[in-house]
Amino acid sequence: MVIDTAIKDFTIRFGNRQDTALILQFIKELADYEHLLDMVVATEEILEDYLFEQKKAEVIICEYQQKPVGFALFFHNFSTFLGRSGLYIEDLYVRPEMRGQGMGKAILKYLAGLAKERGCGRMEWWVLNWNEPSIKFYQSLGAMPMDEWTVYRLTDEALDKLANQ
């Protein structure tokens, strides 16, 4: 299903198995922008398995004049306080040359509508503290920083160590 937006020649569609290489390319472009490219270990095989076999997350592909220009990867989480699921955006990316045309807002509007349609109580994402343009953009939409919370993460050896105790 392709969704037309208010932006001429800009569409949003759900990603499919044939988009796996493109999704990985977008992930790497985003990681490069965030100065985190060395942390990307995902492969096409891993993405295909988790996205299209196990269905652990979903992807939308954004196209301008039928050419891919961005994507968002998201999944459902759950709020015990709300007693409802939420929509968590892991990645949202628009290629630099396409920014400033309303595409990011169109993506978030689409995802907000999807969250409401699915009965979600909220939509969340992270943004790097140094990414002022994105922070200002998100705040202009009414998003609020959750700066009274600190994210903790276990990976690699720490995750293995805890799991094996």
List C-alpha distances in Å: 144 to 123, 137, 140: 11, 11, 10
List C-alpha distances in Å: 156 to 48, 86, 159, 160: 22, 27, 5, 6
- 138 belongs to the catalytic site: yes
Check 93, 110, 138, 152 and give the catalytic one.
138
32 φ/ψ angles, rounded to the nearest 5 degrees: -65, -45
Instruction: Assign 68 to helix, strand or coil.
Output: strand
78 close to 86: Cβ distance less than 8 angstroms: yes
Q: How far is 97 from 113, CA to CA, in rounded Å?
A: 26
Question: Catalytic residue numbers?
Answer: 138
